A and B are shown apart, each in its own frame.
Chain A
């Protein structure tokens, strides 16, 4: 398989930021009360991740290795702020929807971990695809959690009434987020165990 395609696939399932790397769990629990929320935050993360990865990949030789972490934080904050300033001009309607989510992104663990682990070592093109893959993986994870919580918590999907009643109110409460993520993570681990025969090692949550 082409390496770039493999990087994309890698971010989506084998190294999914939420279910496999267990990074950026706070937004994954807090925001995913509906698919809509998950989708908006996921889109915002894709943009910031791709732009930050590319910037770091291009300028990595100028950044002194001992100050790379603060430099990465500045790069992420820069892109978040730029998007926060440009988006209301380009499309006020879209901005109104994602305004709250964009400002949360500066402190996401997944973005800085991809800069540190990938973009600081690899050239521009793979970094772009790694960033895109991770962003899509994050979007996929948020939407999946959001869909399950919205469906069971409020009986709706995308705000449309499907069941007409609330089967499990706990799902929209923060505790429900932990349950859903825990179960999906268990399914991912179970699949890996079935495929490789090895018991998966746990990742450190952030």
Chain B
């Protein structure tokens, strides 16, 4: 009997020691990790817009975040709240009911840049809402604006992958053609599912219009060699393909479905479904939001 106590104590001590170390490390690294994640997010957005290491973003390019909140009123009714930046660095919260009709417009007393921190933003939004309402952050959409014209939308999405969630970002042109797909988080198996992050797979989505996206599916066929070459900019350069040739091959294969990765059909399907869902939901939401903005005659920043 005494033995079992000793064993219990010993194992408990090991667990407590391990958790203390983990807690200490977490507390020390949490802040820096979040900063790094934000920086990576910004980099991903810039990359999706086509501005990376070789091409610097122009000065008149502005990226505005639009925060979507789910609001529950004291009566238990659900509505949606969009935090929109207005011209002149003002911010409003537009509350829409589930059918898309604007309920009210609440001015927010903060600048859009000060709302970047989520804890701070949640407090401000909750404070601005009528007493008893609850709000939960749902999504942040980014709108890139250049010289007063919408350049593109960057929409984050999430989907169930092979093991855990795949987080992705899709950039769309104003007429809802996919201009880029990035995987921001995934735990797919290296060498198999993790290949979804590679250029030759992600770039298959680029150029697909909304009509094509709506009926997009995955085929278990090998990727045609010329198409594979044109999707990977590094390899295309090595082979000496000109920009026109790359464009020609891409146009030829524009109506193709997504070619599944060998040995990773589930991951390929997951990312495809993720992109399709993200785009479709976003297009619907933006339609409703733009309609509401027109009705309320808001002069939004983008």
Q: Which residue of A lies closest to B234 (CB)?
A: A159
CB distance from B300 to the nearest CB of A (A): 34
**A-contact 0/1 string along B180-217, CB 8 Å cutoff:** 00000011111110100000000000000000000000
CB distance from B183 to the nearest CB of A (A): 11
B116 within 8 A of A: no
Could you tell me if A100 and B190 are in contact, using CB atoms closer than 8 angstroms?
yes
CB distance from B254 to the nearest CB of A (A): 26
The CA-CA distance from A75 to B21 in the complex, in Å, is 11
B286 within 8 A of A: no
Summarize B's interface: helix, strand, loop or mixed: helix
Q: List A171-189 residues whose CB lies under 8 Å from chain B.
A: 172-174
Could you tell me if A64 and B191 are in contact, using CB atoms closer than 8 angstroms?
no
A174-B14 contact given A30-B189, A30-B192, A92-B40, CB 8 Å threshold: no
Could you tell me if B263 and A64 are in contact, using CB atoms closer than 8 angstroms?
no
What band does the interface of chain B fall in when counting residues whose beta carbon is under 8 Å from A? 20 to 34
**A-contact 0/1 string along B2-30, CB 8 Å cutoff:** 01001100110111001001100110010
Could you tell me if B190 and A101 are in contact, using CB atoms closer than 8 angstroms?
yes
B118 within 8 A of A: no
Set B7, B186, B189, B235: member contacting A66, Cβ < 8 A: B7
Chain B hits for A70, CB < 8 A: 11, 14
B98 within 8 A of A: no
The CA-CA distance from A125 to B263 in the complex, in Å, is 43
A191 within 8 A of B: no
The CA-CA distance from A81 to B26 in the complex, in Å, is 10
Chain B hits for A88, CB < 8 A: 29, 33, 36-37
B280 within 8 A of A: no
Could you tell me if B191 and A37 are in contact, using CB atoms closer than 8 angstroms?
yes
CB distance from A128 to the nearest CB of B (A): 20
Chain A hits for B22, CB < 8 A: 78, 81-82, 85
Could you tell me if A85 and B13 are in contact, using CB atoms closer than 8 angstroms?
no
Set A37, A81, A85: member contacting B190, Cβ < 8 A: A37
| A interface list, Cβ under 8 A from B | 30-34, 37, 40-41, 62-64, 66-67, 70-71, 74-75, 77-78, 81-82, 85-86, 88-89, 92, 100-101, 103-104, 161, 172-174
- 9 tightest A-B contacts by CB? A33-B191, A64-B10, A89-B32, A78-B18, A89-B29, A71-B14, A92-B36, A100-B190, A67-B11
